[in-house]
Chains A and B, each alone.
Chain A
Amino acid sequence: MRNLVVFLVRHYLFLLFILLEGLSCWLLVRNNFFHRAGAVNTANQVVGSMLETRNEMTAYLDLKDQNKMLMEELARLRSMQKSSFAPYSSNTFSIRDTVFRQQYEYIAGQVVDNTVNRRNNFVTINRGRAQGIRPDMGVLTTNGVVGLVLNVSDNFCTVMSLLHKDVKVSARLKKDGTFGQLIWAGTDYRTAELIDLPTHAKLVKGDTLITSGLGEAFPAGVPVGTVVSWEKKAGDKTYTVQVQLTTDFRKLEHVMIVRNLFRDELQQLKDSSGVNNAE
Chain B
Amino acid sequence: MLNEIIRNGLRFFLLILVQGLILKNVEPGPYINPFLYLLFLLLLPFDLPAWLGMLLAMITGLCIDWFYNTLGMHMAVCTFIGWIRPAVLRLIAPRDGYENSKQPTIQDMGFAWFITYAALLVVMHHLLLFYLEMFSFREFFHTLFRVLCSSLATLLLLVVTQFLFNRQRENA
Q: Which segment, of A114-122, A212-220, A222-230, faces chain B?
A: A114-122
Are B69 and A27 touching (Cβ within 8 A)? no
Are B54 and A20 touching (Cβ within 8 A)? yes
Contact of A25 among B76, B130, B139, B142 (CB under 8 A): B76
Check A26/B30 contact, CB under 8 A, given A41-B66, A47-B20, A50-B21.
Answer: no
Are A117 and B32 touching (Cβ within 8 A)? yes
Contacts of B68 in A (CB 8 A): 118, 122
Contacts of A12 in B (CB 8 A): 51
Q: Is B135 an interface residue (CB 8 A)?
A: yes
Q: How far is the CA of A40 from the CA of B61 in the complex (A)?
A: 12
Interface size band for A: 35 or more
Interface string of B51-88 (1 = CB under 8 A from A): 10011001001100111111111011001100100000
Are A119 and B50 touching (Cβ within 8 A)? no
Q: Is B10 an interface residue (CB 8 A)?
A: no
A164 and chain B: residue at smallest CB distance: B69
Q: Is B29 an interface residue (CB 8 A)?
A: yes
Q: How far is the CA of A279 from the CA of B80 in the complex (A)?
A: 34
Interface string of B31-62 (1 = CB under 8 A from A): 11100000000000000001100110010011
Contact of A187 among B21, B62, B71, B142 (CB under 8 A): B142
Q: Is A95 an interface residue (CB 8 A)?
A: no
Minimum CB–CB distance for B36 against chain A, Å: 15
Find residues 79-100 in chain B having any chain A CB closer than 8 Å to their own CB. Answer: 79-80, 83
Are B30 and A189 touching (Cβ within 8 A)? yes
Q: How far is the CA of A104 from the CA of B24 in the complex (A)?
A: 34
A150 and chain B: residue at smallest CB distance: B69
Contacts of B168 in A (CB 8 A): none
Interface string of B103-130 (1 = CB under 8 A from A): 0000000000000000000000000001
Interface string of A119-135 (1 = CB under 8 A from B): 11010100000000000
Are A41 and B27 touching (Cβ within 8 A)? no
Q: Is A242 an interface residue (CB 8 A)?
A: no
Contact of B69 among A23, A26, A42, A54 (CB under 8 A): A42
Q: How far is the CA of A250 from the CA of B127 in the complex (A)?
A: 27
Are B32 and A28 touching (Cβ within 8 A)? no
Contact of A28 among B66, B67, B71 (CB under 8 A): B71
Minimum CB–CB distance for B119 against chain A, Å: 22
Q: How far is the CA of A23 from the CA of B31 in the complex (A)?
A: 29
Contacts of B75 in A (CB 8 A): 23-24, 27-28
Q: How far is the CA of A25 from the CA of B70 in the complex (A)?
A: 11
Are B27 and A16 touching (Cβ within 8 A)? no
Are B24 and A25 touching (Cβ within 8 A)? no
Contact of A29 among B33, B72, B83 (CB under 8 A): B72
Check A117/B30 contact, CB under 8 A, given A32-B135, A40-B66.
Answer: yes
Are B50 and A54 touching (Cβ within 8 A)? no
Contact of B79 among A17, A189, A250 (CB under 8 A): A17
List 9 A-B pairs, minimum CB-CB distance, nearest first: A28-B72, A27-B72, A24-B76, A24-B75, A117-B27, A31-B71, A122-B69, A17-B83, A20-B79
21 contacts between A and B (CB under 8 A): A13-B83, A16-B54, A17-B54, A17-B79, A28-B70, A28-B76, A30-B72, A40-B62, A40-B65, A40-B71, A41-B71, A42-B66, A117-B30, A117-B32, A118-B68, A119-B133, A119-B143, A122-B69, A150-B69, A187-B31, A189-B30
Interface residues of A (CB under 8 A from B): 12-13, 16-17, 20-21, 23-32, 38, 40-42, 44, 47, 50-51, 54, 113-120, 122, 124, 150-151, 158, 165, 186-189, 250
Interface residues of B (CB under 8 A from A): 20-21, 24-25, 27-33, 50-51, 54-55, 58, 61-62, 65-73, 75-76, 79-80, 83, 130, 132-135, 139, 142-143, 146
Query: What would 14 more interface pairs be, CB under 8 Å, given A24-B76, A28-B76, A114-B25?
Result: A17-B83, A21-B80, A28-B71, A28-B72, A28-B73, A40-B65, A113-B25, A115-B24, A116-B30, A117-B28, A117-B29, A119-B133, A119-B143, A189-B30
